[in-house]
Structure 1
């Protein structure tokens, strides 16, 4: 097969065009790889030059891209004369592209090439903006610039399109320079050269903004690009401040014409985004005079018209952006607005209040509600800080500021009333979730406001609940009840009891229980939630408790309310709960989720019974419900030959799949297991009862444990291909791992281990079993003895065998990640378990973990990096174990060094570097041979960045070794990775 690279433009041309033709992915990949090798070849300079003679934009784009690649990889080899010739060619190609009508794709890529040239040769092209203007100035028919022109004597010589090109270049220039580490001495010249161009750029931007009044679409687009360029320079000035105050001084005069651009059609978007950005992230750029001008502009008739359109329901992009400009200005001057007494400030705050009350439902219609809410939350928090600060003096403005805040709250609460059910159901899921988040934001605002207003706020919402109840405004009643409930955490003691009594002793409970009153389920649910939120109140006012209990039990027959009720069931005795649950179960009044809630609550009550025989007696009754469902499922599926659909278990008339019913049984067991966990009321010493010294379970408990495990195994065996069943089984098992006393879900360790080791890669999500096994091993990590060591060895060999069956670590990322984490957890405390594992298990795992480092999946790779960082930091007091460790370090060190350097040399993704630095730092800080191991990797034939010189590799090695594993290693690695990827410039730190 001929593997010769194309050596001329004519040979490269068909490959470029092939990229844009319909073709298969493999063919496209092969063409891309060939072109990539062409760009790195010695003939690429000449090929790129010749490609610019073609008029096809796709060809010229590739030519410009090739120049960028060559500059980033070979600029150091260019002599000064060659570099100046290249610059002249780039300017000529750009000018010719404009004359020949090349598309923006080509022109922008050529400006990027010029920026790249500047970054590599700032001293050769110090006045880059002025020279670019000269090169693009009005030319004669030959395309040559006017002799002697600098391009700045009369900017009228540059047409609108060429001015845009200069702006594109100027924007890209500061954006790319801003990515360079300004604290490095080698980059100081680039910054100084960039700043020296600011007077020229300012003159050009001023010229462009002065054209804004022209009724011309080309002028509008030019001004838009100008504002974007201005924005780039402003944030460049923030990066170099305070070392270069003259930069901000040169840029501030352009603020006035940019503010004026806000009022021009078509420029609000660019100018608005600029000011939102400045006010939010660099408010110090504006001086008091600028703030005054901006406030005056937003108090003008133009602003009033814009504001009225917004609050009346105009939520198009520019309208919402106008509101965001207002909010950003308010946020940046919040202290001044709070203390202000002038009419303009009060009008401005009044309009910011109005933004909370714009027409339409939040999220679905109203796009300004959430940003406005954030402002008022900040306002209230700032008000609180001022009210309770230690500063002396009068604060006469507090009353006025408080009034503004309370009016904003008055607007906010009724805005979170739910839309009609049909409309809310028509929203997409993202908007519905966002609406719920907005309600939580209002709750946060109310809780902050309580600090200012106190119990009066509870009284206000108690009154609103009663008013909306009397008038039958159900959705507003729900909003008022939601707000009242959100204040529960703020109420201390009985200070609000009078207000709460008016709600709970009135008609609320009675109305909610009347079947003839059409109260929406959501309203019932929120009002029932009040009982839970104010449970302490009912302890003080026991006379109202019966009414609350009647409401809760009546709600259990409503599918949508059973869950909230289960959370607030008040225990009397276990038998009553089980009887109530039996009745509901027979009547099919509970859906699956509600049943899980209730059965879990009952289990928590049973767990609190001090007598073990009585406790287990009631548990056996509770398990009877699950036992019945599991037996029915097994008998029915056996009789039906494994039918997929069964009669519904909830009376809904909708057939359920056998798997769904199995999951219902398993999830009921999950709820019981969680309910039966011992509450963590105080600190526990897990060392007090090692695994082998725990008291054995009683005979009754042992029988229950066996029955539960049999149910788990049977349900799992019925659906061996269900990932959801696997997940549920693992959740049940985990419930017992954290327990320190015998319990129904604290199974015998050998039983758990046998269950785990039966699982293999033919089943789904075996990685979940490995993850659960990791938690299992951690539950007795500090225990010792032959029995526990045998368990560890059994589980370890099972995990390694699973990993060894994978043809590639990336084929099952869940298993790979969890398997490596299992071994890491085990080896961190007991390295000898791995080192003395039977057969070749240790070798198998070590090689697997090294292969994972070379993989492409980020989570397994991160787990592998954690393992190697842990392993190479191990030390043991046992002489034999330490000897085995040392021997393994000697064998594995060079292999790990090669794997790490391959990643750092460009194979890893940038997001993976932090994790990969951990094992590198452990190597360097813990092992004297680390330098040799890393050096072998850097000069190994498999090292991917062969273009990096031997000297640079050696310098990198010296830096890493000298840092001795300190945090600064991460930055050195990142810079080396960037060089390996083809750029010698560091990102901004």
Structure 2
């Protein structure tokens, strides 16, 4: 046989064999390209037929694949005769494979051939409407069809693959109707017949797989057509007949594979298409699962609550999952009927399954499966509370019993899960730490839902339990596990319900009792170095962070000293993970309880000194501690005291940094991390020194005057040491001159005071900030430009009315003009520069419009930015041009200047030409950034812009444009008058000129 271009069959077979044996990616790719071209060629079907006749499994499989490719490509060219002929050919290959080698060894190829038949059915259901019947009829006349068992196997596999493949396609209603009328009836009859046949278990397993495929298909068919598969009784009865444990005993090793697959199919039905079960079938399934004397009780007795549970872990999980999915479909009725005897047994079963023995995520996962179910169960009582009141409207006594029973059940659920979240031994917990902690979080969500239903009585029971266990801890050390579990749940509920409104928390009374019980002493006696107790401290710290609403109050402040004395040793002596957790808690307490912590500043200051001396302390811990301390001293409100403390703190940081820098003239990662953490501490101090609320709410007018006057003079030299440390980290220490992180931190320090209304320790005159920037830019590379420009931007946004144009001109000359060529090589520097100019134009255009550098460099720089590929550059460039066109805050002189630039000096034409060219060449995802420039030009220059755009499109020299079409395009743009409709016109132009839609004037 000869293929196209002289390829022989032998060479094709060789290529196929190499395709599946080669380990060379380049060769495999080359072979794929060559073989795919053959599959798609006019020889595709012939090649498939020939390859199927080879003895090689690789050739047969590739032949089956080739049938699929060829059918897909040529599907519209087949006549009815072609379709039937192809069906006969493919079926013939299947029969010969069975006859020569049997089913097992060729199943992969046979399945692929069935997919090929499915494709023919999908594309030609009119000609080939009943694939199963045709296949069955041909089986009957074939000499190669094999045994009856092989017949059934093939038909079941074909019935599965057919609907699986149809489910993947977007089909019309017609094909679903064809399947219902022809194919489904055959499957239903096959399942019915199997009940009476003595077939081996593997046939039943295959039948269940087939039913499962149909369950999914039915949901697809019903969603996309008017076809409805009302309860298919024969199939459903077959499933019930498969729910049997005949012969199994406590010591049996019999496989439950049939039962397992049946459970999975019932779950699929209940989850995806419960309509497949009519009322009678649902009642039957309910009885089977949840009533005494039926399958469920037997399964639980012989498997779930026996020594076989671990052996049949999948089966048990699927049994529980079916119960959950089935009950969730009618959760409202389950909750309504909790007073009925039948529900009592049912809930008892569910609670027993939830309370299965073992540690969650280590020995058992059933309780984890039930978590969402029980949360939904509780939320049903909450969401449908009004419905329950209506049901019991005429029976108030019964409603009271209903509420009591409801609370009993919820309490039982909570009791089970409270016990389940007890921490296991450390060596058992560590391998499943992530899973177990996620489980605990899920339990916390359940308790939060329970609190929404039961309210304070639940919180009171938890706190009473915690207090009792705390009192008895000295006598029974094992109570520590109980304490941790209860405290964890209290913390989670408290955190959730005080997050948005901590000042109105209902928990203050109970939290006070917890502290009064001596819990601080109990935790203080535990070892911080014991791994087993690590999670105890995590829980305790998180609890403390959740109750700052109480600690900042009159009753809570008495415990702050004890808390600090407990936390500080954990930072110095605990593990890094514990110290991080503690520092986070300490930061929140210091921020929330600042005024009450003033007496303890000496303790925290001593801790700061320790962390400064020790480079091994995590950088984040060090930063949090400095921020914590500064938050407290802010509330001294005495600038003299604050000045002394700030100078001492920052000077300590300066000396620590200078000492390290003088001993290290070169950089290394460890040194860099330590030094960056030091300058970050100054950043944290600066942020913490920002006035924490509206100035009039924080300071009285008299205090404002005192503070402003003090910091204007700065007798404590705080500002001097701040500037020295900024210069040390960004200019004087050679290894950090080009360190972008260090520069950013230094700029952020200067930023922190810019917005303040009165003088403060970090508020510097604009001239000092600009002088620093000029000095910094002289030694910087482009990596330091973004934070420098960001600082200038912040200064301009907040102080644009105070800035002299000459000062700004000098700064721009230093940070922009003299570095222009270098800036153009760094996309992030370009972005920062254009953003800065856009901000100036938006706030006070006169600051920049009259500068020589504006017309000589800035305009050209921003024109070039229009053609950038990066959207993070195009976005600020668009902002720049919109600002310059609109000049919303420009003076009359500013408007005259720009109009002259655009209309008299060619600026408008230059902008339009660059804009149109860049727009057409841009990526589709960037088009939105160009639209505002077009719209503003059209709105501001309605007469001039038509000429500009005509010339701009002419200058494109685009092969699809002539003078007539250009005129049509521009007229359509002009008609929009800069309204939003311009977007659609411009998008069509882009699509047409980029060849994505046909270029035609009628498209407009």
- Give the TM-score taking structure 2 as reference length: 0.71
Partner in structure 2 of residue 691 of structure 1: none
Deviation at 1:412, TM superposition (A): 0.9
Map of 1:945 onto structure 2: none
2:162 aligns to what? 170
Ranges in structure 1 where 5+ consecutive residues have no aligned partner: 146-154, 645-656, 685-693, 807-814, 853-859, 901-914, 941-962, 980-989
- Deviation, 1:546, is 2.7
Equivalent of residue 918 in structure 2, options 872, 892, 898? 892
Q: Deviations over 1:814-853 (max 9, x none)?
A: x78x97799799879979999996697567655551xx7x
Q: CA deviation at 1:262?
A: 4.4
Are the aligned partners of 2:269 and 2:276 in contact in 1 as well (CA < 8 Å)?
Answer: yes
Q: CA deviation at 1:382?
A: 0.9
Q: Which residue of 2 aligns with 1:662?
A: 675
Instruction: Count how many residue pairs are aligned between Structure 1 and Structure 2.
Output: 857
1:298 aligns with 289
Distance 2:637 2:23 in 1: 74
Seen in structure 2, the aligned counterparts of structure 1 residues 173 and 436 have a Cα distance that, compared at 3 Å, is same
Alignment partner for residue 703 of structure 1, among 720, 729, 733?
A: 720
TM-aligned CA distance change 1:53 to 1:342, over 3 Å: same
Of 267, 271, 275, the match for 1:276: 267
Shift of 1:480: 0.8
Which residue number corresponds to residue 381 of structure 2? 383
| Superposition map of 1:131-530 within 5 A | 131-135=134-138, 137-141=139-143, 143=144, 159-177=151-169, 180=170, 187-203=172-188, 206-207=191-192, 210=195, 214-216=199-201, 218-240=202-224, 243-244=226-227, 247-249=228-230, 251=232, 253-263=234-244, 265-299=256-290, 300=293, 302-307=295-300, 309-310=303-304, 314=310, 316-340=313-337, 341-388=339-386, 392-394=390-392, 395=399, 397-425=402-430, 427=431, 431-469=432-470, 470=472, 471-472=476-477, 473-488=479-494, 490=497, 499-514=510-525, 520-530=533-543
Change (3 A) 1:16 1:617: farther
Change (3 A) 1:409 1:575: closer
User: How do residues 398-797 of structure 1 correspond to structure 2 at under 5 angstroms?
Assistant: 398-425=403-430, 427=431, 431-469=432-470, 470=472, 471-472=476-477, 473-488=479-494, 490=497, 499-514=510-525, 520-538=533-551, 542=555, 545-559=557-571, 560=578, 562-563=582-583, 564-569=585-590, 570-572=593-595, 578-586=601-609, 591-592=617-618, 593-608=620-635, 610=637, 615-638=642-665, 657-679=670-692, 698=712, 700=714, 703-713=720-730, 718=735
- With over 3 angstroms needed to count, the CA separation of the structure-2 counterparts of 1:719 and 1:568, relative to structure 1, is same
8 A Cα contact 1:269 1:318, kept in partner: yes
The answer for the alignment partner of 1:986 in structure 2 is none
Determine the C-alpha separation between the residues in 2 that align with 1:128 and 1:682.
81
Question: 2:868·2:874 contact (CA, 8 Å) conserved in 1?
Answer: no
With over 3 angstroms needed to count, the CA separation of the structure-2 counterparts of 1:819 and 1:92, relative to structure 1, is farther
1:27 aligns with 2:27: yes
The separation in 2 between residues aligned to 1:916 and 1:665, in whole angstroms, is 41
Partners of 1:716 and 1:725 within 8 A in 2? no
Mapped partners of 2:958, 2:59: distance in 1: 37
Q: Secondary structure at the match of 1:487?
A: helix
In structure 2, what is the equivalent of residue 151 of structure 1?
A: none
Equivalents in 2 of 1:97, 1:667: separation in Å?
73
* TM-superposition CA deviations, 1:45-94 (whole Å, max 9, x none): 43333322223232233333333334444433445544444444333334
The SS at the match of 1:482 is helix
| Structure 1 residues 220 and 752, CA gap change in structure 2 (3 angstroms) | farther
Which fold has the larger relative contact order, with Cα–Cα distance below 8 Å and residues 6 or more apart in sequence? 1
Cα deviation 1:249-289 (Å, max 9, x = unaligned): 26465233224434462134433333334434444443332
Deviations along 1:18-58, whole A, 9 cap, x unmatched? 22234333333333333333334444343333322223232
- Contact 2:608–2:626 (CA<8 Å) still a contact in 1? no
Separation in structure 1 between the aligned mates of residue 34 and residue 926 of structure 2, nearest angstrom: 31
Question: Does 1:130 pair with 2:114?
Answer: no
Calculate the TM-score normalised by the size of structure 1.
0.72
Aligned-pair distance for 1:865?
9.9
Compared CA separation, residues 792 and 719, structure 1 to 2 (3 A): closer
Query: Does the 8 Å CA contact 1:115/1:169 hold for their aligned counterparts?
Result: yes
Deviation (angstroms), 1:405:
1.3
8 Å CA contact 1:633–1:661 kept in 2: the answer is no
Distance 2:239 2:210 in 1: 10
Structure 2 SS opposite 1:210: helix
CA contact (8 A) 2:22 2:28 kept: no
Summarize the Cα distance change of 1:318–1:122 in structure 2 as closer, same or farther, 3 Å threshold.
same
**Using a 3 Å threshold, how does the CA distance of structure 1 residues 175 and 571 change in structure 2: closer, same or farther?**
same
- In 2 relative to 1, CA 51–724 (structure 1 residues): closer, same or farther, beyond 3 Å? farther
**Per-residue displacement from partner, 1:407-439 (whole Å, max 9, x unpaired)?**
1011111211222223223x1xxx423322332
- Counterpart CA distance in 1 for 2:275 and 2:686 is 57
Contact 1:771 1:822 in 2 (8 A): no
Which digits, 9 at most, give the CA deviation of each residue in 1:690-725, with x for residues without a partner?
A: xxxx99995757535533433542699637999987
Larger radius of gyration: 2
Q: 1:499 to 1:554 in 2, by over 3 A?
A: closer
Change (3 A) 1:620 1:919: closer
What secondary structure does 1:124 align onto? coil
Q: Secondary structure at the match of 1:249?
A: coil
